Structure 1
Amino acid sequence: MKKLKLQIQISVDGYIADSQGRTDWMIWNWGPTWTWDDPLQKYFIDLHATIDTVLPSRKMAAEGFIDHWARVASNPGDPQYPFAKAITAAHKVVFTKTLSQSVWENTSLAKGNLAEEINTLKKQDGKDMIVYGGASFVSSLIAAGLIDEFHLFVNPVALGSGLSIFKDPGYKRDLTLVASQSYDCGMAVLTYVPAKGKQ
């Protein structure tokens, strides 16, 4: 069965954006200059080699996530090309209640119950899935117990307040740490899975 993986950047105190929604505190914020060190870039690329389906939130898709990475994937000389190629080649599934048809290439819409739609996707053959989205979308997946792996890319900054993916999940999340690694650029990657018997 496919796994649903979450890869997301956070602060050391658990926020994905500050209280104004800004993310300029991240070491790399999807800009053209890839400011992570080479080993972290490799981890990121290798993670995306394990997936064939991307679940971007509707808002992220509408803000240009799919189109942006398609443009990067058209330039083999770009250092972000391997990641962009994986994102572009993967099937995208956008969860929406408002859109009637997809305007993006290689993308379909999911309009039904979130858990039912994702569990149906998990039963399909192929590689794993990865989700990209804002706090609300990701929180709903966590609350429904749908995330199988948490890849938390921790930036060396504390924000004090902001947007959290663990806001009001409805119940406590018990996780098991399966890997941790620090990087010269200042980042740390913590990988968790749901604790057995605690879902």
Structure 2
Amino acid sequence: MARLVLWNMMTLDGMVAGANGELSWHEEVWGPELEQFSEAQLKEAGGLLFGRVTYDLMAGYWPAQQGVIAEFMNAIPKHVASRKLSELAWSNAHLLGQQIATEVETLKQDSAKDLFLFGSADFAATLMAHDLIDEYRIAINPRVLGNGAPLFKPGQAMKLRLIDSRALSTGVVILRYVPVRDA
């Protein structure tokens, strides 16, 4: 059974996007180290999950790009949670139905390789509520936005155990956590 890995960059104050959805602060720390880390993660992935907003951003960007990451992003199976979209134009993208938790559990059972959830804080909150995320990979950007979209919503409580940490020369720290589940 595959694991579901959340991969996100967030600020020191816990935001994954600015107040108006801006992500330009990602570019401030993008470089060879983060690119290498991203490429290594891609080799682990059997599919990607997105919420609608992240899907729209990715589908508007990757089809026109070239290179290793672009080839991967355009070819890999993509699963999208959306109440607004009825069809998806990006290659190999599929809409999830109304039973999100059940469908994601089935995807995990059917995939030989891990599934990755990129961005999508609202979708992530739904998956967290159903205890479907098996690993949290969070790149902490040394930036404070002051407001925006938080990764962890008020009222979400969980205990996590650190399994790895890695500091990059840009000041980003990549933290890897697994949930501590009651036995």
Provide the TM-score with structure 1 as the length reference: 0.82
User: Mind listing any 5+ residue stretches in structure 1 that lack a counterpart?
Assistant: 30-34, 76-80
CA contact (8 A) 1:18 1:163 kept: yes
Distance 2:3 2:96 in 1: 18
- The aligned counterpart of 1:146 is 132
Is residue 36 from structure 1 mapped to residue 30 from structure 2 by the alignment?
A: yes
Decide whether aligned partners of structure 1 residues 100 and 37 sit closer, same or farther in structure 2, where only a CA change above 3 A counts: closer
CA contact (8 A) 2:82 2:96 kept: yes
**1:21-170 equivalent positions in 2, closer than 5 A:** 21-26=21-26, 28=27, 36-63=30-57, 65-72=58-65, 75=66, 81-168=67-154, 170=155
Distance 1:128 1:88 in 2: 17
3-state DSSP of counterpart to 1:181: strand
Is residue 183 from structure 1 mapped to residue 168 from structure 2 by the alignment?
A: yes
Q: CA deviation at 1:186?
A: 1.5
3-state DSSP of counterpart to 1:153: strand
- The aligned counterpart of 1:78 is none
Distance 1:133 1:165 in 2: 9
Q: Percent identity?
A: 30
User: Mind listing any 5+ residue stretches in structure 2 that lack a counterpart?
Assistant: none
Distance 2:43 2:91 in 1: 20
Decide whether aligned partners of structure 1 residues 95 and 184 sit closer, same or farther in structure 2, where only a CA change above 3 A counts: same
Q: Which runs of 4+ in 1 moved over 6 A?
A: none
More strand by share: 2
C-alpha offsets along residues 99-153 of structure 1, whole Å, 9 cap, x if unaligned?
A: 3333222111111211101001011032111112333222222222111111101
Is residue 3 from structure 1 mapped to residue 22 from structure 2 by the alignment?
A: no
C-alpha offsets along residues 3-43 of structure 1, whole Å, 9 cap, x if unaligned?
A: 111111101121112334333333x27xxxxx534233211
CA contact (8 A) 2:75 2:91 kept: no
